Amino acid sequence: MAGAASARAFAYAPFGRRLVALAVDIVTLTLVFVALVLAVDAVAGRPLLVEFWRTLKPINVSSETASRTITKEEGGVVRELVTRRETRVFADGSVRVYAVFDGRLTGSDGVPVASSTERLIGISASAWYARLATGFLAVALAFAYFAAFEASSWQASPGKRALGLSVTDLEGRRLGAGRALARQLFKCLDIASSGLTYLIAGLTERRQGLHDILAGTLVLRAAPGHSAAAPALPSAVA
């Protein structure tokens, strides 16, 4: 029976459709993540998580010059570099320390050209914990989102379901919770390779990315009528 199942002709998902489905999922995940961050901060009454879409302005800035270097070159060119440490206090109580490099180049014509760069070199514990907690929430949400939906009766994330795709094992069966989680874990390799190992899904015979190959999964075009079915809520994953 296993041999017969293996020989079954599957309709593998077109790579372009997979990319569109991924884009839909990223947008959905981002909206859910923003809502969770806002909800947590609202319940706590203070910013426990980083609202990365907002640019915080410091309420207090103190600066200390560390060094100043002036170099005169042939032809009347003068280079000046000022290195300073800048401590910024923000309204949420966090403190960040930056190394700031201010440069000025004055050419033989006497016209100065200024530049400035900065690098974060220190951060208060509260801000560091907020970043850590926000990063953990983002990773946990992504794992739960894809694994729960792909192991559910939907057999697909909302993006894949909207595009008429489903995720199965190599025999075309519904994924268990363990395999669905493993598939997400192997996706970390795609991220580590800057997406290159995901792109091979457009080249392999069964349209598998590296995470599909390692997890033993397939992304298929859903059976006729599947995508048009009433969107029942996915069942809980044990």
Q: Look at residue 53 and tell me if it is in a domain.
A: no
Q: Look at residue 226 and tell me if it is in a domain.
A: no
Q: What is the pLDDT of residue 217?
A: 93
Kindly state whether residues 136 and 120 are assigned to the same domain: no
- pLDDT tens, the chain, 238 aa long: 444 444 467 888 999 999 999 999 999 999 999 999 999 989 988 878 888 888 888 899 999 988 888 888 777 788 889 999 999 998 878 899 999 999 888 877 778 888 999 999 999 898 889 889 999 999 999 999 999 999 999 999 999 999 999 999 998 899 999 999 999 999 988 888 888 888 888 888 889 988 999 999 999 987 544 443 333 444 444 3
Kindly state whether residues 118 and 18 are assigned to the same domain: no
Q: Look at residue 50 and tell me if it is in a domain.
A: no
Kindly state whether residues 168 and 156 are assigned to the same domain: yes
Kindly state whether residues 80 and 185 are assigned to the same domain: no
Kindly state whether residues 123 and 140 are assigned to the same domain: no
Tokens of 70: 């002036």
Q: What is the pLDDT of residue 26?
A: 95
Q: Angle at the Cα of 146 (from 145 to 151), degrees rounded to 5? A: 110
Q: Look at residue 93 and tell me if it is in a domain.
A: yes
Q: Look at residue 167 and tell me if it is in a domain.
A: yes
Q: What's the structural domain count of the chain?
A: 2
**Boundary-marking domain end, from 127, 149, 168:** 127
Q: What is the pLDDT of residue 227?
A: 41
Unique residue bearing structure tokens 């915080």: 56
Q: Look at residue 180 and tell me if it is in a domain.
A: yes
Kindly state whether residues 143 and 208 are assigned to the same domain: yes
Q: What is the pLDDT of residue 8?
A: 61
Q: Look at residue 158 and tell me if it is in a domain.
A: yes
Quick one: which of 67, 94, 72 has its CA closest to 82? 67
Kindly state whether residues 104 and 208 are assigned to the same domain: no
CA–CA dist 146, 77 (Å, integer): 59
Kindly state whether residues 68 and 90 are assigned to the same domain: yes
Q: What is the maximal distance between C-alpha atoms in the chain?
A: 86
Kindly state whether residues 28 and 79 are assigned to the same domain: no
Q: What is the pLDDT of residue 203?
A: 86
Predicted TM-score (pTM) of the model is: 0.73
CA–CA dist 198, 191 (Å, integer): 8
Q: Look at residue 212 and tell me if it is in a domain.
A: yes
Kindly state whether residues 93 and 206 are assigned to the same domain: no
Kindly state whether residues 39 and 69 are assigned to the same domain: no
Structural domain for 65, as ranges: 58-127
Kindly state whether residues 156 and 189 are assigned to the same domain: yes
Q: Are 113 and 105 in contact (CB under 8 A)?
A: yes
